[in-house]
Structure formats: structure tokens, C-alpha cells
């Protein structure tokens, strides 16, 4: 081999090494490792045979019925929901222990009545101190805050819904002082 041939080989080797350093050249030559995006990987649901063992032909362009969207799969994984979107009815032993220690098994069936009576007792607390001590001031007898009457408000909202009115129609009922 003569010296010009050696120089050409060395120069071509340097060019190849220089080009291999470029990312686009690495991809073109297949030197980069291509890993899938872990957030885009979805598993295919297994094929299933209908209960009557009669296969129906698929509709062109229709989604596969046994597959879920990624969002539905994530919700099922996190919240324990089944494929239809309902919550799971099975309570684990850990959940049962947590509920019993938090008092979840001692639910008061008359809690709404108890809250309503306590709210009615709080009406005097919402009056300004001057009105509590002196009574009416300047002829205005309005409290600084009003307490919404829950039963009357529920009835108003139901009436608005039946009449097709917006929820803001009508006056919000409050507990009178």
C-alpha cells in the first residue's frame, strides 16, 4: 500500500467517526436504541367468543368493543372501577378496618335533622355584636350574614329544574332571625 492509500483510509475513517457523532446519522445508521414511550404503551384486550358462539362480522372502522381508553384503564387501576365505570363493591379488610376506626360503621341516620337544628341555633351568632347588645340600629335589622334554609332551597331548585328555569332564578330562602 502506498502512502496516499493509507491517508485516504485514515481520512474516511475519521469522516465516518465524525458522522457517527451526529444524532441524525446515528438514527440513519441504526446506532440509536429506540425505546417505546411508556405512557403510550397499551395492552390489547384478549379476544373473546360471544356466549352464543356465533361470531358477528366487525363493522369497518369501529373500535374494538373489549378495549378501553387509556383514561378508563387508569381510572380502573387507581379507583378500582370495573370496565363499565362503576365502583367495586368488594371492601377489603384494610378498608373495613379504616372505616371502623374512623367511625364509619356508626352512621347517624338523622344527621340532616341534627345539622338543620344546629344551623337554626347559629342564627344569633351571625348578628353583629352591636345588634346583639343594642337591638335595632338605625332601623335596619339585617344580619351581616344569612343562613340558607336547606329544605326550602332544595324545593326551589327542584321547582326551577321542573319549570326549565336556571338555578339562579328566584330568591334564595334563608332562615329568618
Tell me whether residue 152 is in a domain.
yes
* pLDDT at position 16: 74
Confirm whether 136 is domain-assigned. yes
Query: Partners of 31 in the beta sheet?
Result: none
In a domain, 141, yes or no: yes
* Total domains, the chain: 1
Go through 92-103 and write b for each residue having 16 or more CB atoms within 10 A of its CB, e for each that does not: eeeeeeeeeeee
Low-confidence ranges of the chain (pLDDT < 70): 1, 18-23, 45, 49-55, 65, 81-89, 124, 135-145, 177
Residue 122 lies in a domain: yes
Q: What pLDDT was estimated at residue 13?
A: 82
Residue 22 falls inside a structural domain: no
Long-range contacts of 113-119 (CB under 8 A, 24+ apart): 116/150, 116/151, 119/147, 119/150, 119/175
74 falls within a domain = no
Q: Report yes or no on 134 lying in a domain.
A: yes
For residue 143, the enclosing domain spans 112-163
Look at residue 92 and tell me if it is in a domain.
no
Instruction: Say what the pLDDT of residue 83 is.
Output: 47
pTM of the complete model: 0.24
Q: What pLDDT does 155 receive?
A: 92
* Cα 48 from Cα 56, distance rounded (Å): 12
Amino acid at each position: 500500500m502506498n502512502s496516499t492509500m493509507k491517508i485516504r483510509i485514515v481520512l474516511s475513517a475519521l469522516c465516518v467517526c465524525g458522522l457517527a457523532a451526529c444524532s441524525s446519522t446515528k438514527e440513519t445508521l441504526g446506532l440509536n436504541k429506540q425505546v417505546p414511550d411508556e405512557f403510550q404503551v397499551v395492552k390489547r384486550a384478549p379476544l373473546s367468543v360471544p356466549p352464543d358462539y356465533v361470531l358477528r362480522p366487525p363493522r369497518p372502522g369501529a373500535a374494538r368493543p373489549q378495549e378501553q381508553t387509556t383514561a378508563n384503564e387508569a381510572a380502573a387501576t387507581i379507583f378500582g372501577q370495573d370496565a363499565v365505570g362503576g365502583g367495586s363493591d368488594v371492601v377489603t379488610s384494610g378498608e373495613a378496618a379504616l372505616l371502623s376506626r374512623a367511625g364509619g360503621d356508626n352512621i347517624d341516620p338523622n344527621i340532616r335533622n341534627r345539622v338543620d337544628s344546629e344551623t337554626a341555633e347559629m342564627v344569633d351568632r351571625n348578628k353583629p355584636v352591636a345588634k346583639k347588645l343594642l337591638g335595632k340600629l338605625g332601623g335596619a335589622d339585617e344580619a351581616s350574614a344569612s343562613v340558607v334554609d336547606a329544605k326550602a332551597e332544595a324545593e326551589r331548585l327542584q321547582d326551577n329544574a321542573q319549570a326549565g328555569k336556571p338555578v339562579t332564578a328566584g330568591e334564595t330562602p334563608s332562615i329568618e332571625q
